[in-house]
Amino acid sequence: MIPEPRILLAIADAPLSQGVAGHLRQVAGWSVTEVAVVAEVLEQAPNHHLAVIDEALDGPALCLQLREAGIALPLLLLGAAATARCCGIEAVVPKPLRLPILAARIRELLSRPAGITIGRWRFDEGRSVLDGAGGAMVRLTAKETAILARLHRAEGQVVGRDTLLDEVWGYGAGIDTHTLETHIYKLRRKLGGGVLVSENGGYRLEEKA
């Protein structure tokens, strides 16, 4: 858990915002900044550990805008789960809002590791992105994320092609090695040279490259 987390609360409805902020301050002791317009969210987000964004504030589009600006803090949407697809959102809490559930989801997001260093990138498995210096960000597909996570768990050891096919695509999926090699090729282009290495019939990561 991050010490003294700072929460950015982006809710246009003033009474709702005040109620949520009061609960988070009283129950969890978090520092909460309330904002009500998009420009304030973009300005304030880099100074916080997590942002709670209301769907009514054009939440999905705003979350995507934050990601495109290279802002990597966890994002929690208040609204419908279906709107969270492809917007860089880690979690959704549905409305009508239940404050204990919201606090629990925030606590869970804050307890996650901030990311894994792979080469010149920070790999965030939960967001399926690579974060780089100067706000650079590269999006990963679900399969690329799963491959990278599996290779990281191997701690520099070789993971065989068959193992990756079985664990990423599933037993009996009818996927051949060409499919895996295509994903590896795309991952290499995203990671840069010298990071994802072919060796002994499989692959491994040089995470300190």
Task: Provide the strand spans (E) within the chain.
Answer: 6-10, 31-35, 50-54, 75-78, 91-93, 116-118, 121-124, 129-131, 137-139, 159-160, 196-199, 202-205
pTM exceeds cut of 0.85: no
Q: Which amino acid is at 71?
A: I
Q: Which domains does the chain have, with CATH numbers?
A: 6-110 (3.40.50.2300), 116-205 (1.10.10.10)
Task: Name the helix (H) or strand (E) containing 143.
Answer: helix 142-153
d(CA 162, CA 55): 42
Instruction: Say what the pLDDT of residue 209 is.
Output: 43
Instruction: Say what the pLDDT of residue 119 is.
Output: 87
In tens digits, the chain (209 residues) has pLDDT values of 556 789 999 999 999 999 999 999 999 999 999 999 999 999 999 889 999 999 999 888 898 888 777 777 889 999 876 555 456 687 889 989 999 999 999 998 888 766 678 888 888 877 788 887 766 788 898 899 889 989 998 989 999 999 998 888 875 556 777 899 999 999 999 999 889 999 998 999 986 54
Cα torsion 70, 71, 76, 77: sign = negative
Q: Which single residue is written with the structure tokens 């780089």?
A: 132
Instruction: Say what the pLDDT of residue 122 is.
Output: 82
d(CA 131, CA 173): 31
Cis-peptide into 96, omega within 30 deg: yes
